[in-house]
Structure 1
């Protein structure tokens, strides 16, 4: 798919998004007590930014990156006085720098070659939260199996990090690791 087509597809997706305030992943919110009181956080492929807003409201200096300008435009309007930097960024071409974040959150984005860069971007003692679509298509998420994890795949995605918790069900997988 050409770059312009890809951008147009994502723009259309977020342009039609609900106007309600975005919410964080339930998996992230359920583990809020694991988050540090301060530090740097990244919401990679942030979409409408529910995770970024959640992290920034908890006092983390937060970066929110997404490929779709229409996604980050709405988030910029919600960021106000929060410690939140919003950027339209191609995370595949420009992954995070090594040891640059205390918390990294990735939700509903899957590009397997980025796994090593995400692990490397985690600072010592940092947390990496990852949740995305898994298993066979069952009416939600992407239909293309390349954009869905295989059963058990997430458990081995970050071998250099310590897996703290993993949840897998019919159509999603979520995990949190410590660097």
Structure 2
């Protein structure tokens, strides 16, 4: 294996870890909690899902051949809740992840130094992947934080529980 193949393997694994972490947090929320907003300027989990999905579909559709900000994307609409059920939220979630993971899985090491554009700005494929790694982890952190706040008394930890002995080397 070479460095390009190892990089793609590692980022695929990290993105799948992120997806799983968010899903475990979402699973701990009631349907009502998915739509809860602490303040009018704070997004609900459902809105974060909608935004992430819109971003994934836009960025990763025709990734190597068109700008990552598609002309038909209406980013502002991603922050308006038009979901009514958990199933709608999760279908949107899967739509985004499917578009993203399909493209990520198709990338070859020879693609990593190619140039793609996002909002008219050139990026290497590596830069574009890392840009999304930052963006998605930011929002997944928000999802986990909101879910944990809403379920503090019943929260099941997604990582190593506090006060656990002998967890040296684990994070």
Give TM-score scaled by structure 1 length: 0.24
Highest RCO, 1 vs 2 (Cα 8 Å, sep ≥ 6)? 2
Structure number with the higher helix fraction is 2
Q: Which is richer in strand?
A: 1
